[in-house]
Structure 1
Amino acid sequence: MNVVRPDLTLDQAREVADTCFGVRGEIREVGSNQDRNYVVDGRFLLKVANAGYTDAELDAQDAALLHLAGRMKVPEPRPAAGGGHVARFGDGLRARLLTFVPGTPLIDHAYLAPVVVGRLGDLAGRLVANLADLDHPGLDRVSQWDLRRARTEIDQMIGSLSTGRDLVRRAADQACDRLDALAADLRTQAIHGDLTDDNVVCSIGPDGRPVPEGVIDFGDLGHGWIVGELAVTCASLLHHAPERPLAILPAVRAFQRVVPLTGDELAALWPAIVARAAVLVVSGVHQALLEPDNDYATERQDAEFRAFETALSLPFEVAEAAFRETPPARFFAAPIVPVLPVRDLSVTSDLPGGVVEAYTPEEGVAHRAGEPRLTETRIHSFDAPATVPLGVESRLPAGTAVHAPFDGEVHLGVLRGATLDLRLSGVDLWEGPVRAGDQIGAVSGPVYATLCSVRDLEPPAFVTPEESGAWQAVCPDPGPLFGIRPAPEPAPFSRDALADVQEHYYADPPRIERGWRQHLTDVNGRTYLDMVNNVAAIGHAHPRLTEAVSRQLALLNTNSRFNYRAIAEFSRRLADLAPDPLDTVFLVNSGSEAVDLALRLVQVATGREETLCVAEAYHGWTMASDAVSTSTADNPNALATRPAWVRPVPAPHRDPDALAKTLAVIGEPAGFIAEAFYGNAGGIPLPDGYLAAVYSAVRAKGGLCVADEVQVGYGRLGRHFWGFEQQGVVPDVITIAKAMGNGHPLGAVITTREIAETYRRVGYFFSSAGGSPVSCVTGMTVLDVIEQEGLQANALTVGDRLRDLMETLAEKHPIIGAVHGLGLYMGVELNRPDGSPATEETSAICDRMLELGVVVQPTGDHLNILKIKPPMVLSEESAGFFAAALERTLRDGW
């Protein structure tokens, strides 16, 4: 076929559109490998066909478009002036006019979320299903893109490659050999032949993600393998996630729900992907040599070679196991070496230290295969690390005899059996045939053993959890050779017994089982940067806290009616942290309890009920704390369902007249409660002077003022220990929790002795676990760490750096409408171009950030603010990683 594009100027194309199709307007050329394409008047696409196409082939394309009309979103052929759909002009040139399908090409989106990949697979399946009953003489054609001809096409063009020729040749031959063996059983029909990210047009969903809808460019239409259609689509996805070849799985699964593939087709899929990738590489270079000025061909060469390398990164058998969801292979044999005790290296093991601590393999122990290892995790990594070992590792004395588990032959350091290869590093093996039980060598160093059912394939030592299931289908666990039982199956995990209303992060959350400082690690050994955990103020698993709590538990833990040193010391320390005249402490279990108690104190002390609270605030879930919670994100009906004694006032960050409106309705309240620095609303400071004015007015009417410091107190703001200090006021009651216990259930109310004593009017106060010995020791240790490790100063320094990074991002990305907050309590507000809240986009961005190794969540009444309230040990390196992950997300999509 003549693959050089027709020679045509823009003026000639304009004339053809006018005279042959009666269409005028602005005209511009768009890329094509072998045709000439022009957008006319923004509504039509003028296609000038390559001379190599026959009339029957062009007619088949129009027939396919008419066949699909009404079933799918495709271009519509428009009649030519002389009849039919093809206009002839010049020296044998032919043109067709199609309606232009609006939208963005999928290729414009660098990152594709799994849901988008699945949508593309579904589109490919529906296209195949809708073309199944199409027949036309022009479908029987010779095309370089027909995967049945992949070897022939590569043979003809591979001479164009100056680098990588041997690699492409070898990979293409292996792929085509497999396809040849399966070809007789692969179904054929009419297929698009080029359903790639370049030929799929998308709308944008409410979450900002592309929705593949339209199919364009039917120039490669013809008879071909059904599995070839999916292979073409999958090959085009590889450059979007070159580090994750199995990121295509959602497309495969979605395609199969529409068009189930046979076993032979599943076996052919990865070879077809490799063959397609190889054809693209050689064709791109070949086309660039023919037409050096064809930017469309030359600009894609790097991405096409990246996709080819990604296709080669996964062996055919492993990919097939992933497509088939083949269970792990099993192997049984007698031990080949003396049995050693197993050392657990999993995420829930008793390894000392945190996720970044170095680990030196121990003498005299073995480490099992198939279990994700904490020792292989990585911090500040966009990619999931390879944590799953395919082999068993052991450290045996030098000279230990090693015996053959099965008959075979040792060749080049590998025992080759009838169905399995055994690889043993750290063992001097003796070459030659052996029988099961024969000694085959002796230990010379740390031993690593793998089994593989694919002849001559050397498996990697570790693979990612995403790929581990497929690899384990061809690499049985060699544990029996060392007397090791397989890794225990993870205990069934289900939230079925929990109330559905109990919140959790993410629709498909990772299972987190370990933490260290500002990091969280899931059961697969993936470590995330924790940017939301203001509960763990001094960081996860702080060794001082662990030691102090363990020691106290070994001594005493009981209820607070007993006398013990810790309750007196901790209460005094809390009272000393508060400004005069606040000098009396109640100890409780949580922030909700603290707020509930504070409201009761205010009402008892004043003899009144009415309480003022601020819109868009959250204070807790108990009856009283929920009553003054007005955040519609937590309760969509919050403002309409407040009890009669609650009077919400306008949110001062929303309404410029909020202060005046508040002062006008104060009346004679029991009290006024507000977060001293907006937490759930997105880390937003109150306007200067706001609390001073409201406190003064409330007190003038005999009311009391409560500062809810549950989220923002304890030094998190950097410049202030308490949030109310930023407003220059002193409340009558302070409520605190979260940071106090670093995850231990601990809260407190601090007030004056006079207010506290009024509680006797309604009874006595008691909390079983509030103020227990362990709780008090926890609270004192947290305060010690904050002070002695300079965490408030760290919140200031790292918080300022993080804010600078966020404001820099805001200058580049218009979706960031504002950056709120102080210290390590911040909010990044995301808005759409029209200024409306980017609610769905924020949720999708958080999902993408999780994939990149960052835990961050939406907040605010519209859930369009990224809440940033990490452990106060956050480092500048971690702040930089968070900013880099957010920049990558906003740049490449989510």
Structure 2
Amino acid sequence: MNDIPMAERYFDFFAHLELPTPTLGVDEVRGLMQATFGMSCAVRELGSQQDQNFVVSDIETAAPIGVLKLSNPAFTEAEIDLQDLAAATVAEREPTLRIPRVVEGPRGPMSAWWVTSQGRIHARVITHVSGTTLMGSNYVSPATVSRMGELAAKVSIALADLSHPASVRVLQWDLRHAQRVIATLAPDETDIEVREFASAIAESAQSRLDVVSSRLPRQLGHFDITDDNVIGLPGALPDAVIDFGDVVESWAVNEIAVTVSSLLHHDGLTPADALPAILAFHSIRPLGEDEVDALWPLVALRGVVLALSGRQQVRLDAGNAYADAALEREFLVLRQAASVPFEVMGARIRHALGFAPRRRPVWTAAALLAGLTNAAHLDPGTTSPLNDEGRWLDRTALADAALAALDGGAPAAVVPAWRPRLTGAPARTPAAPATVPTALTLWLAADTTVTVPTDGRLVPTDGGFDVVAGDQVVRFTGVAGPARDRGELPARTEVNVQLVGANSSEVPLRVEPPYTAGWQCLAGDPGPSLGLPASVVEPKDDTLVLRDRVVADVQEHYYARPPRIERGWREFLADVDGRVYLDMVNNVASVGHAHPRVVEAAHRQMHLLNTNSRFNYRVIAEFAERISATLPEELDTVFFVNSGSEATDLAIRIAMAATGRTDIVAMREAYHGWTFASDAVSTSIADNPNALDTRPDWVHTVDAANSYRGVHRGPDAARYAGDAVQVIDDLAAAGTPLAGFICESYFGNAGGVALPDGYLRQVYAAVRRHGGIAISDEVQVGYGRLGEWFWGFEQQQAVPDVVAVAKSVGGGQPIGVVVTRRDIAERYRNGGYFFSSTGGSPVSSAIGLAVLDVIEHEGLQENARVVGAHLKARLVALADEHPIVGTVHGSGLYLGLEFVRDRATLEPATEETAAICDRLLELGVIMQPTGDFQNVLKIKPPLCVSKESVDYFVDSLERVLATGW
């Protein structure tokens, strides 16, 4: 054998184009295991494309012993030794990774050549690695994507200096040979469309790769760290790498290219979403500039090889279910890799890694138009007044504003390129829409002909015309007919103007924000080509950095990487990139974000008067009268404060003053506020882990009346009232009669759990029997949110002595209200006066009146009833398909979807709930967890939410539950 050339001693794909897998039967495998390794065992076949794999288990305990790998007969013993050496080296050098090794059996290492019914085949049993792979096309989180890059980098470093004679083997998966592999496989592809698409992508990728390939570093690598070949324990990120079957010497950058390509078929994952893997790889094993330029062409070539090889394998081995099942996702990898131009992804990766950007097109010739100095410059950005009152939803809003500017005497109206536009942006989108214009948009007051530079030329196109000067092109689109041939821009017509390189790929008029830096390698600022000043480069947004620096950490924000939200409208929120989110959690904006009637009331009253509530002005009295009219007749006296915390604090103080006592009974697992008194009666451990242990001695608690997961469940929940009455009676018998009892009339903090029927009637009766005051905390559930009832206590057919309400009252303005009987209020007056500087201020009162008007005139309580019932029915239906759904709480538009790991034990799915909320954000839905275990979705959108919006929410949630989080 020594006289055989080195490269010919080892496997060469081009000499073995047909590689059908071994197909030994289970009985034969079991017998060979006994005969060769002295082991009686159970075996179960796994899938593989070119080998045959089995799970080997103990017969008696069914505990896994390892994975039996039957190598394809085309591979030599030296190549198998290479695989084992690579695995052992990584295991030694990276002890944080779990790496499978050859198992020691009764007769030593379980690795041998078998003589089988299908010839001589190498068999070895490698250690079983517990956990699961990322197999399939379910969702992978950004953290998992990042971990994939980290694993690839660690393995790459561990193998960097390793060598082995068999590393010269020629594998179809070695991307150095991709061009030859594709040329070999493509002619046999029977689907002409697939063949032509794959070949075109391969040619384009290879042409870019050829520029740098001779300079790419080479080393031994795993080159198959894919979603199928990493394993993680339940609830943890992957920490194991398996299947060293493709170890070879190749370009080092192929390690991360292969890993990235394996991610592209996962649900919702776009090329930009793969960047965390590249960043993680680069942070451990830095990529060189040539490697960065080669990376995305290699990702695409991997996609082509996967697609063509998989289809070939299915043709050769029709019974290979593993290969057949992979066809769709392998072709999706190719489509995704090709969905963004190579230049764009290359520039985007360079930007993410901190490499200097490629030079973007810059116009250096004379201006093509004159007289635009006095043009009207329009701003369609998120914070622009152009988008007030929901006008961003009107796709003609920008054109209407431009024509109005022309009517006002402006010679032109201009909207700059490269600044995100909210105007015309869609709502309810599962991914970031294309909101960044690559073109300047122009309207002219009069017909105008462009001035072509002396060394330039005008080229008519299908959509308009190009002005070409050297290697730069100014592209005008939106011009038709004879005007196109003359280079004439018609008056009052929307024209888009791009500046692109002469050899650039087609540049769309709008691109998604994550790719902006990439597209800027192909298109520049068109302003100077029209005689306009260059756009000012926007500084990197440092809002979150600034907030974290100057705002107390304890004053948290939603999400680890929150979007920067700067506009709201109805049930929508918009960030500065023009992405619109569906707000399903914001009961603060009760009647909808930026409601015109509320805005106008505030605006008008601010023009008139805003001062403290000791002055005599009518609007505070009118507001108090309107609130009182919504309540039972005896609740006729109103106090104004600024928040729910202050409202519950004042309600407690009123109870103490009215009774001359200090002891308060509160329900456990509830949150009432952050002031001293409201915090004292708050017992939610989600808000304060030490809540129960740190209560002052004047606070006494009763069981949370939660019929789903409390101490009494289902029909037994009727016992909660009796238990609470007993606590109250016992306090009185012990000589400490209560001043008052406080609870939410609908168990809000737990996710909208209804109190057991009759609970408040029985408890309020006991409170009053001992001379106490019954307080209903309506901060979250009052004001029509429950649909069937305007106030939560109405559901209980009980009337409290004091009602505390906030949030919904002001529609976003800090307003808190306490309403009680006149005699109780007078007893509080006997202890001194009450004063809240801005509580009930003229502006707050005017806003409060407007909110009540909107609820009444727009039928928002009825909307809460109808839309809320539809929403709840759809949420209930999710439980039939998804065991994680424990139950659906609530009524109207105060709902809670509770997630559990086990419906019998009700183990809270806390981490899962947080991850589901993060995934919903990616799909354009704002949602947050609630409850003591943070395992309930708190579903409380603005009362104006539409049926279309709640359907989008449930559809998105259903997608998350089906595809993962």
| TM-score, with length taken from structure 1 | 0.95
Contact 2:262 2:333 in 1 (8 A): yes
Matches within 5 A, 1:790-869: 790-833=859-902, 834-869=905-940
Contact 1:203 1:212 in 2 (8 A): yes
* Deviations 1:449-483, CA, capped at 9 Å, x for gaps: 22234714111111111111221243222223341
Q: Which among 489, 493, 503 is matched to residue 443 of structure 1?
A: 489
Between 672-681 and 289-298, the greater mean CA deviation after superposition: 289-298
Q: Which residue matches 1:466?
A: 514
Please give the root-mean-square deviation of Cα atoms over the aligned residues, in Å.
Answer: 2.3
User: In structure 1, what is the Cα distance between the partners aligned to 2:211 and 2:704?
Assistant: 71
How far did residue 15 of structure 1 move? 2.2
1:52 counterpart letter in structure 2? A
User: In structure 2, what is the Cα distance between the partners aligned to 1:506 and 1:406?
Assistant: 56
User: In structure 2, what is the Cα distance between the partners aligned to 1:79 and 1:52?
Assistant: 26
| Unaligned residue ranges in structure 1 (runs of 5+) | 433-438
Question: Does 2:376 match 1:341?
Answer: yes
1:92 counterpart letter in structure 2? R
Question: Does 2:226 match 1:200?
Answer: no
Q: Which residue matches 1:172?
A: 202
How far did residue 36 of structure 1 move? 1.4
Question: Does 2:227 match 1:187?
Answer: no
Question: Does 2:133 match 1:105?
Answer: yes
User: In structure 2, what is the Cα distance between the partners aligned to 1:296 and 1:135?
Assistant: 32
How far did residue 406 of structure 1 move? 9.2
How far did residue 662 of structure 1 move? 2.6
Q: Which residue matches 1:293?
A: 319
How far did residue 291 of structure 1 move? 1.5
Describe the SS at the equivalent of 1:386.
coil
Q: Which residue matches 1:213?
A: 239
How far did residue 629 of structure 1 move? 1.1
User: In structure 1, what is the Cα distance between the partners aligned to 2:892 and 2:151?
Assistant: 47
Matches within 5 A, 1:151-166: 151-161=179-189, 162=191, 163-166=193-196
User: In structure 2, what is the Cα distance between the partners aligned to 1:7 and 1:681?
Assistant: 56
* Deviations 1:846-869, CA, capped at 9 Å, x for gaps: 111111111111111111111011
1:772 counterpart letter in structure 2? S
Question: Does 2:175 match 1:139?
Answer: no
Question: Does 2:500 match 1:452?
Answer: yes
1:353 counterpart letter in structure 2? E
* Deviations 1:607-666, CA, capped at 9 Å, x for gaps: 111111111111111111111111111111111112222222221212335434432332
Q: Which residue matches 1:614?
A: 667
How far did residue 8 of structure 1 move? 2.5
Describe the SS at the equivalent of 1:807.
helix
Q: Which residue matches 2:756?
A: 687
* Deviations 1:512-532, CA, capped at 9 Å, x for gaps: 111111111111111111111
1:736 counterpart letter in structure 2? V
Q: Which among 5, 10, 17 is matched to residue 26 of structure 2?
A: 10
How far did residue 347 of structure 1 move? 0.7
- CA 1:374–1:84 in structure 2 vs 1: closer, same or farther (change >3 Å)? closer
- CA 1:106–1:737 in structure 2 vs 1: closer, same or farther (change >3 Å)? same
Contact 1:390 1:460 in 2 (8 A): yes
Matches within 5 A, 1:706-717: 706-717=775-786
Q: Which residue matches 1:64?
A: 86
- CA 1:580–1:398 in structure 2 vs 1: closer, same or farther (change >3 Å)? closer
Contact 2:361 2:501 in 1 (8 A): no
Contact 1:670 1:702 in 2 (8 A): yes
Q: Which residue matches 1:523?
A: 576
Describe the SS at the equivalent of 1:692.
helix
Q: Which among 712, 721, 726 is matched to residue 659 of structure 1?
A: 721
Q: Which among 467, 478, 482 is matched to residue 426 of structure 1?
A: 478
User: In structure 2, what is the Cα distance between the partners aligned to 1:202 and 1:420?
Assistant: 51
* Deviations 1:519-561, CA, capped at 9 Å, x for gaps: 1111111111111111111111111222222222222222222
User: In structure 1, what is the Cα distance between the partners aligned to 2:832 and 2:501?
Assistant: 75
| Unaligned residue ranges in structure 2 (runs of 5+) | 1-15, 58-63, 404-411, 713-718
How far did residue 695 of structure 1 move? 1.0
Q: Which residue matches 1:76?
A: 101
Q: Which residue matches 1:358?
A: 395
Describe the SS at the equivalent of 1:106.
coil
Question: Does 2:900 match 1:878?
Answer: no
- CA 1:427–1:794 in structure 2 vs 1: closer, same or farther (change >3 Å)? closer
How far did residue 407 of structure 1 move? 4.9
Describe the SS at the equivalent of 1:93.
strand
Contact 1:368 1:487 in 2 (8 A): no
- CA 1:597–1:168 in structure 2 vs 1: closer, same or farther (change >3 Å)? same
User: In structure 1, what is the Cα distance between the partners aligned to 2:153 and 2:269?
Assistant: 25
Q: Which residue matches 1:549?
A: 602
User: In structure 2, what is the Cα distance between the partners aligned to 1:51 and 1:287?
Assistant: 16
2:654 counterpart letter in structure 1? L
User: In structure 2, what is the Cα distance between the partners aligned to 1:635 and 1:335?
Assistant: 64
2:927 counterpart letter in structure 1? V
Q: Which among 854, 863, 868 is matched to residue 785 of structure 1?
A: 854
2:234 counterpart letter in structure 1? I
Contact 2:739 2:773 in 1 (8 A): yes
How far did residue 398 of structure 1 move? 6.0
Q: Which residue matches 1:435?
A: none
How far did residue 204 of structure 1 move? 2.2
1:392 counterpart letter in structure 2? L
User: In structure 1, what is the Cα distance between the partners aligned to 2:480 and 2:626?
Assistant: 65
- CA 1:398–1:54 in structure 2 vs 1: closer, same or farther (change >3 Å)? farther
- CA 1:238–1:218 in structure 2 vs 1: closer, same or farther (change >3 Å)? same
User: In structure 2, what is the Cα distance between the partners aligned to 1:471 and 1:709?
Assistant: 52
User: In structure 2, what is the Cα distance between the partners aligned to 1:838 and 1:214?
Assistant: 25
Count matched residues.
884
Q: Which residue matches 1:150?
A: 178
Contact 2:775 2:802 in 1 (8 A): yes
Contact 1:188 1:225 in 2 (8 A): yes
Q: Which among 114, 125, 134 is matched to residue 88 of structure 1?
A: 114
User: In structure 2, what is the Cα distance between the partners aligned to 1:492 and 1:104?
Assistant: 39
How far did residue 323 of structure 1 move? 1.3
* Deviations 1:211-245, CA, capped at 9 Å, x for gaps: 21222222211111111111111111111156621
- CA 1:814–1:604 in structure 2 vs 1: closer, same or farther (change >3 Å)? same
Describe the SS at the equivalent of 1:455.
coil
User: In structure 2, what is the Cα distance between the partners aligned to 1:647 and 1:155?
Assistant: 79
User: In structure 2, what is the Cα distance between the partners aligned to 1:537 and 1:84?
Assistant: 68
Between 93-102 and 138-147, the greater mean CA deviation after superposition: 93-102
* Deviations 1:687-729, CA, capped at 9 Å, x for gaps: 1121111111111111111111111000111111110111111
User: In structure 2, what is the Cα distance between the partners aligned to 1:230 and 1:241?
Assistant: 20
How far did residue 879 of structure 1 move? 1.3
Describe the SS at the equivalent of 1:104.
coil
* Deviations 1:419-451, CA, capped at 9 Å, x for gaps: 43332213589999xxxxxx9822145321222
Question: Does 2:803 match 1:754?
Answer: no
User: In structure 2, what is the Cα distance between the partners aligned to 1:452 and 1:357?
Assistant: 30
How far did residue 79 of structure 1 move? 6.2
- CA 1:73–1:785 in structure 2 vs 1: closer, same or farther (change >3 Å)? same
Contact 1:616 1:681 in 2 (8 A): yes
Describe the SS at the equivalent of 1:256.
helix
* Deviations 1:301-340, CA, capped at 9 Å, x for gaps: 1211111111111112211111111559474656422422
